[in-house]
Structures are given as structure tokens and as C-alpha cells.
Amino acid sequence: MARSIDCASDSSVKNVALDTLFLIVLQAAVVIALGKFIHLGLRRHNLPSATSQIIVRGDHRGSLGLHDVIVHVDVENAEDTYGRYVSEARIFYMFYVGLEADVAALWNDMRRATIFTYASVATCLLLAAFVSGGMYGSMMHTPVRSPELLAAVLMLSIADTASVDVSRMASEMGLAATPSGRLVVATAIATNIICIVGEGVFSCMKLASSRTPDYSAPQRLGLGILALVKVGIAVSLLRPVVAFINRRNAGRHRVGNWELVLLLFAVSCIGNFPQRVGFDGMPVSLLLGLAFPREGPVARSIIDTLAYPLHALALPFYFGAMGMRLNFSAMSGAILVPAILLTLLGLIGKCAGTMGAARFLKMPTADALRLGVLLNIKGHVNMIDMRFASSEGIWAEQALMAMVVGSMISTIIAGPVFAVVFRKEKEAYECSHQALEHMATDQELRMLACVHGARGTPGMLSLLELLASKPRAQPTIHVLHFFDVARKDDAPRQYHQRAQDSEHKHMSRRKDATTQVNWAVDVFTCATGLVIRQIDAGDRGSAVNAKAIRRWTEDVRSGILLIPYHKEQHYDGTMVCRREDRRQLNLKVLEGAPCTTAILADRPFRRSGTSFQLPTKISTSTEAAGNQGDEKVTTHVAAVFLGGPDDREAVALACRLAKNESVRLTVVRFVLRESTDDRVATTSADIDGEVSVVVDDPDEECVSEFQREYVAKERAAYAEKAVTGPMDVVEALRGMAGAYALVVVGRGERQPAELVVGLEGWAECAEVGPVGEILASDESLEMGSVLVVQQKTVPPFHFDFAAASSGELTP
């Protein structure tokens, strides 16, 4: 999008007196501090911080009168001085948004986002074009320019959505991982890019040639194409350069300071390629972030470096810049009334488009209305368009103020709407029945895994790899690492604490546990193509850690939570408890888990076959190749089924594992010998009589569906073991040693009593149940890893509401 940046670049800091520059910096600091103070009161109502920052900025310029202190710079010049830094903030923040974006999740929502984008943009363009004729006389000076320019600028201004504002508010409210949040962010970014491209085309036309008097329209077009070529070359060189820096810093938690500065300088230069010739650099910076490699110490360093300055300093000043032209004490009806009308015009256009799209996608109308209000957010992007329209005589200064106030009103209105969406998404997640049993195996599954150190990380990452059968469609996987805060070396060290002593550089690479976990994550990311994001948190006891796990589970909207068993395997096969507080942590997590929870008892010293230590693509195991004749199958998995919701959830999880080509699944069902004879007789009678019997037992339905979808299609195997009592169950479970690399079982407590009565003596650890304890405590080096699954329990009072809420929020 073409921008009037010439005056912004001309009014640089060199034309501002030093005392005035000091007051400008002081003014920015006061605005940020006041915004944070006011947000303390608004936060309890779940309102985003942008609301308080915009209000503070306008009130600061109005009633507080600090602008009168800055005597050397008037309002216009101060805005031009700020504009240069606001543009830099936009470049770095959109790069940060692209780097943090869950590309796979956004891709899964592309169809919905595309429909909403085109529908909302089209209705706004048509509506603005229709009303521009009636607004021409009231917004123009004496006739200087044609009404076509007014229609073009008004169409772009009303159709545009401030993607920076929407992305920041959604991220702050924790909505980036929710279906509604992903949809509004993707639609806002797509809408913003369409309007930027439209304005770029408009600026290259002869009609707007006076906008850039130094260049003709063909020259403008040539400069734009040249800027795109430069950006393409830079993006193509990005991956090899980042890969080279990652290799230089292999095994390190962060890259060096000079390498970090060089990379950030390159991001700024590439983002400014279009802006140097008068176009907007937002799409370029977003593309740069999306194309940036997410594995290795480079991505970690950039994310950690940009997060605090952007969120704490740059963005508050960015939102405050929206109100810098306004003086609330001088407002009059001649400005407020047109501002309200323009805001309503944008709301009508956006809501009409989203309602039409929602009707096509069969979504609730209330969700469409909320989405339309959020897409009407106008930010600093439109300020430059409005200023251009005023300088070109397209509309009067009074109309310009009305447009500015309208943009602020639309942004402030979005705050309560975001709060409503946040509350509905939170209630839907907490109250909905988050069970794999009721999800289709091809439905996306968001995963959160917890690790306590580098020892158990490879096994956990191997399990995550098997669950993600399609890496390109798998949303970002989050790994929560608890490091020991008692040991200073294990905590992530700051840059000033990591002196790069050349003599000891290679010796200190693998000292701290965080770096070792980083290395394991980097290896699996490069080998599997998955996007794995590591979160480091201090180990502060079972109670605090349980709260942290629940908070992160809700933030990432995880469908399954994976935690490690409190015992670790010794080299001789025995399972040793090193820290008792981890058992208490697992019990607390199981009590209040908001989703399906699985405990992994990793056995890395398994003597034969596959052990979960390497990605399947580089694994040298041939466990199943000789038996099955299929070289793709490297991992044998068994699911033990006795009955009950936890066992059904274990089978559902095992079916997701079976989607991976390297997994061969076998479901082993334990039944009483008497009930087996009865079921065989009933089944034969049904077959002879050709009568279809509908079974109400959910266990039978689960087994029937598995046989129909997997066994009949030769995607898995099914076996029944007839037992007469608990001792037969124990013997059969121990007989699985050596046959399977992973055994998936239900935690129990809701299994058939006739199969588990008498097994309480083996249930020393309540976190895994009797069946899981029998398998996990086996001291044989042939026994594979054990995964114990617990289905989330939802109170009956909330179940109907949850179903209704989930129906509202998903198409």
C-alpha cells in the first residue's frame, strides 16, 4: 500500500531540538505508564490493554495538556516524528506475528477465513461506493479533486482492518489458539493485505499521480516490482543463512549477540524495501516471519528478544499514536456525529459480509456479528490514508478528525467484544467433553507435553511424532519443560551471563538441562518437520507446577496432555522413583485436567526392538520389517481394552497412532471366558438369521467401530484373550514383554469389576491404575514403554451447555 512517508522521513529527529526530543521521550514514557495503570482496572473485565492505551493517549493530549509543554514541535510535526518509529514497530511486530503464527492451524482454517475475507471486503467496498456520492459535498473543500478519489479512499478505509491491532488483542486475550481467535486473526491479516495491495495499485494510477510528484505512474510501478524482486531474493536466502547460523551455534540455547543484531538489522532492511519507494512494508514483514525457520537457537533468540520490547514498549506507544492528533476537550458535535456515522457505516458493511458468509458456512449469527465488530477495528494504518486525503483536498480537516475519532471508537468497541469471545471460548473449553473417543481421527489434535529434563525428552518427542501422522497439518506442539530452579546452571541464562569464552566455548555447550532439551527438540524438529515450541518454567513444587500445567493447557487449548511417569528406568530394568513430588504433581494434574491426560512410563533401556529415543525417519530399528514384510513399519503398538471410558479413550488414542505409517496397532481385549461363549452364540444366531442388533453398550460400540474402520481395512489387528480371573490378566499383561514397543492402557477406576477385582495389590501408584502399574513396574528389559490414558470427566450439569457452546463456536 502506498504511504505518505516522505514527510515522515523528512521530519526526522535531526530537525527536532534535543530538549524537545527529551520531552517527546518523556511523553511516551508517561503514556505507557498511565496506560498500564488504567489497565489494572480494566483487566478484571477482560478488556485488552489497547483500550486503555488509546484512551490515555487522547486524554494525555487533551486534558492533561502535556502537548503545551512541547513548545518547539506542533501536533503535525510530532506525529511525523513518531510515524517513523511506528512504522518500524509495525515491521517488527508483524514479523513477530508471522514467526509466532501457527501456520498449520491457520491453513486448516483457510477455507473459512477466505470466505469471510472476501465477503466482508466486498460488502464494505460496495457500501462505501454507494454512499460516497452523498458524502462528497459534506467532506470536500471547494471542488479541487474528483469524487472518484473520495470514493477510492473511503472504500479502502472502510474495508480495511488493522491486523496489528487484531493480532495483538487476540494474543493478549489468549484467543490465538481458539477457533474464533484464529478465524478473526487470519481474516484480519488477509483483509489488511488486500487493502494494501489495492492502495498500491491505486497509487500507481495516473489519477493519484500527484501523491508522488517525483515519479510518474509507470516509474512507481517499476519501483514496486523492483522492491518485490529484492524481497524475493532476500526470502530465498533466508533459510540457508539461518541454517548456517544454527550450525554455528549447535547445542546452544541462544545465538551470539552480534549474530542477533545482524539478523534484526536484516529484518528491518527487508521490511523497509517497499517503504523506501512509498509502499507499505507490512505484507513483506509478515511473509518474512512466516518463511523464517522455526527450529534452532536462531528462532528462540529472536522470539525471546522481541517479545518484551514489543509488548511492553513498542505496542503501547503504537496504540497511543492513534489518539495523538486528538484533543478530547475540544470535541464538538460536528466531529462526533460524523464519526459515529462512519463507525456505523463500517459496522454495517463488516457485519453484513460476515453474516452472509456465516449463512453459507452454517455458523451461528451471533458469532458472525461478533466477528464483524472485530474486523471493523481501525488502527494507525488508516491514519496515513486520512492524512493523505486531507493534504490532497479530498476532504476537509474536520472530516479528517471525524475519521480519526471513528477509528478510535471502532477499536474501543472491540474491547468488550473480545471480552465476550474470551468468556465464551473459556466456558466452551472447560465445559465441553474434550474426549478423543468422540473426535474423528483426522480432526486436528492440539498437544501439550511436559518434561522434567533431557533424559525423558526423546521418548516424549517420539510419542508426539507418532501422534502427528501429518506434520504439515499438525498445529504447533508445545513442550513445557520444568527446570530445577535450585541449580543455577539449569535455568535459561541471559545474554550477559553467557560470556562466550573461546577457550571453554565447546566445553560448556551441554552443561545446563535447558540446552540439552533444546537440542533434543531441534533434532526432532529438523527430522520430522513438526513445529515444536519449548516453554521453560521453573520447578517450584507440585502445587505451583500443577497450576502452571493447567494454565498452559487452557492457553494452547490442548486436546491431550502428556506428562511423564514419576519413575525412571534404571539400566538393569528396574523402575526407580527419584523425586516423590513428581508423583504428587501427576495426581494433582489428573484431578483437574481440562482435557484427556496420558502418563508416559518411558523405558529407554529396552533390550530388543524399538525404544523411543530417535525419530522414526532416522531410527535403525527393524522390529517389524522382518515379521510383516513392510519396511515402513518400525513400531509395534498394543492397546489393552478391558472396558470403561478410560479404556475407550486409550483405544481412540491408539487409533490415532495407527494413522502413522510406521505403526502397527493391535488391540487386545480381555473378556471373561463365560461371557465370551455367550457372545459367540449370540453372534452366530444373528448371522444365521441375518438380523442386525443395535448394542447400547458403549464398550461394544467402540470395539465394533474399531473392527469396521481398522481391522476390516487391514489397518490394525484385533485379538481377544479369554481369562477366568485377575491372575490370568496379570499373566497375559506380563506376556506382552518383547512384543510391543508401546502399550496403551486406560487408567481404570471405571473398568468392569469382574476383570479388575483383586488387582488392587498391584496398584501401588494411583496415578496409573492397576493395569498400568503391572506393565510399568515390570523389571524385564523386554517390556516396552507404557502409556496410561485418562478421559476427562465432565459434570452432567455442564454437559448440555458444553455441547451447545461447542456448536456455536465451530461450524
Strand extents, DSSP E, 214-322: none
More confident residue, 572 or 786: 786
Q: How far is CA 681 from the centre of its chain?
A: 52
Residue 476: per-residue pLDDT: 87
Return the amino acid letter for 340.
Answer: I
By the 8 A CB rule, do 456 and 521 touch? no
Residues in the chain, total: 811
What DSSP string runs through 56-91?
HHHHHHHTS-GGGT--SS-HHHHHHHHHHHHHHHHH
Mean pLDDT for the stretch of residues 685-691: 39
Round to whole Å and give the CA distance between 292 and 283. 14
Q: With the CA atoms of 731, 733, 735 and 736 taken in that order, what torsion angle do they form, in degrees rounded to the nearest 10? A: 180
Give the model's pLDDT for residue 779: 79
Give residue 503's pLDDT. Answer: 38
pLDDT tens digits for range 251-271: 787 888 899 999 999 998 898
| pLDDT tens digits, 576-635 | 887 888 889 999 999 888 889 999 998 888 776 555 667 776 655 444 444 444 556 678
Percent of the chain predicted with pLDDT > 90: 13
**Of 627 and 314, which is predicted with more confidence?**
314
CATH class of 19-429: mainly alpha
Q: How confident is the model over 212-238, as a mean pLDDT?
A: 79
Number of Cα atoms under 13 Å in the Cβ half of residue 695: 13
How confident is the model at residue 651, as a pLDDT? Answer: 92
Backbone dihedral angles phi then psi of residue 713, each to the nearest 5 degrees: -95, 10
284-295: per-residue pLDDT in tens?
888 898 889 888
Place of cell 478530547: 328
Cell for 119?
Answer: 465477503
DSSP β-bridge partners for residue 448:
478, 561
- Separation between Cα atoms, residue 221 and residue 277, nearest integer Å: 10
pLDDT on residue 788: 92
DSSP, collapsed to helix, strand or coil, labels residue 536 as strand
Asked whether residue 57 carries a pLDDT value surpassing 70, the answer given is no
Interatomic CA distance for residues 307 and 487, integer angstroms? 26
Measured CA to CA, the distance from residue 214 to residue 205 in angstroms comes to 14
Nearest to 803 by CA among 358, 443, 428, 362: 428
Sign of torsion over alpha carbons 624, 626, 627, 632:
positive
In sequence order, the 6+-apart residues with CB closer than 8 A to the CB of 426 are 554
Alpha carbon dihedral 292, 298, 304, 305, in 10-degree steps, equals: -90
**Does residue 600 contact residue 785 with C-beta atoms inside 8 Å?**
yes
User: Hey, which residues does 483 pair with through a beta bridge?
Assistant: 538
The DSSP code for 310 is: I
Question: Strand 663-672 vs strand 717-723: parallel, antiparallel, or unpaired?
Answer: parallel
What are the residue ranges spanned by the domains of the chain?
A: 19-429, 436-486+510-614+634-673+698-790
Distance CA 285, CA 282 (A): 5
Q: What is the pLDDT of residues 632-674, one digit of tens each?
A: 667 889 999 988 888 899 999 999 998 888 888 999 998 887 6
**DSSP state for residue 279 in the 8-state scheme:** B
Cα dist. 391→73, 142, 254 in Å? 19, 13, 48
Q: pLDDT band at residue 690, thresholds of 50, 70 and 90?
A: very low
Instruction: Tell me phi and psi for residue 231, to 5 degrees.
Output: -65, -40
Domain 436-486+510-614+634-673+698-790 indexed as CATH 3.40.190.10: no
Does residue 433 carry a pLDDT above 90? no
The SS3 call for residue 708 is helix
Is the model's pLDDT at 422 over the cut of 60?
yes
Name which of 401, 272, 268 is nearest 9 in CA terms.
Answer: 272
Instruction: Write down the pLDDT at residue 333.
Output: 65
770 or 668: whose pLDDT is higher? Answer: 668
Residue type, 185: V
